[in-house]
């Protein structure tokens, strides 16, 4: 008999109980956006090192590292805590490099006359279509002839 009044009281109070979390208790989760210009790939979750996002066609898929592993933002994989570099890490912009300038002047075939000058595209062609072996023999003979 004693249990009946307790049950009636609980049932009477039940409609006034709110079991949902308050809005200020909820963490502010920011929706992850795949980085532009980097294409598909794995990217660190800004909130925790235990998760990462896999961006496919600019859509982020949330993934979790297996138990005991952490996402390494450099190697883009899950690894042990002491090996992981937690991210997201700032990307460094590669230094701009200028195309190398040709140090040799362009060969002008109208001004270039053997034996002082010979033009070839890549510098590997021997004038007059000579065999490389013949040129080597000529160099050896010239060295011997010099006093």
For residue 52, being part of any structural domain is answered with yes
- Whether the pLDDT of residue 145 is over 50: the answer is yes
For residue 145, being part of any structural domain is answered with yes
| Same domain? 86 vs 111 | no
| Same domain? 87 vs 111 | no
pTM: 0.44
| Same domain? 71 vs 36 | yes
| Same domain? 48 vs 84 | yes
| Same domain? 83 vs 122 | no
For residue 20, being part of any structural domain is answered with no
Number of folded domains that form the chain: 2
What is residue 88's predicted lDDT score, i.e. its pLDDT?
76
Structural domain including 58 reads: 31-91
For residue 6, being part of any structural domain is answered with no
For residue 37, being part of any structural domain is answered with yes
| Same domain? 126 vs 86 | no
Region 111-138: what's the mean pLDDT? 72
| Same domain? 76 vs 118 | no
| Same domain? 112 vs 77 | no
CATH code of 41's domain: 2.170.140.10
For residue 1, being part of any structural domain is answered with no
For residue 54, being part of any structural domain is answered with yes
Are 53 and 42 within 8 A, CB to CB?
yes
| Same domain? 85 vs 41 | yes
- Whether the pLDDT of residue 22 is over 60: the answer is no
Tens-place pLDDT, residues 106-117: 777 788 777 777
User: Which carries the bigger pLDDT value, residue 67 or residue 9?
Assistant: 67
For residue 49, being part of any structural domain is answered with yes
- Mean pLDDT, the chain, rounded, equals 75
- What string of H, E and C letters represents the secondary structure of the chain? CCHHHHHHHHHHHHHHCCCCCCCCCCCCCCCCCCCCCCCCEEEECCCCCCEEEEEECCEEEEEECCCCEEEECCCCEEEECCCCCCCCCCCCCCCCCCCCCCCCCCCCCCCCCCCCCCCCCCCCCCHHHCCHHHHHHHHHHHHHHCC
């Amino acid at each position: 008999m004693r249990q009946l009044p307790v049950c009636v009281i609980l049932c009477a109070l039940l409609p006034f109980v709110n079991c949902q979390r308050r809005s200020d208790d909820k963490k502010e989760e920011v929706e992850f956006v795949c980085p532009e210009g980097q294409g598909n790939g794995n990217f660190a979750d800004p909130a925790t090192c235990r998760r990462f996002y896999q961006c496919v066609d600019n859509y982020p898929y949330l993934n979790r590292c297996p138990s005991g592993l952490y996402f390494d933002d450099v190697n883009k994989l899950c690894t042990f805590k002491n090996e992981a570099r937690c991210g997201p890490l700032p990307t460094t912009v590669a230094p701009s490099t200028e195309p190398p300038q040709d140090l040799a002047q362009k060969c002008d075939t109208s001004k270039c006359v053997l034996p002082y000058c010979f033009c070839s595209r890549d510098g590997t062609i021997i004038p007059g279509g000579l065999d490389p072996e013949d040129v080597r023999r000529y160099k050896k003979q010239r060295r011997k002839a010099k006093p």
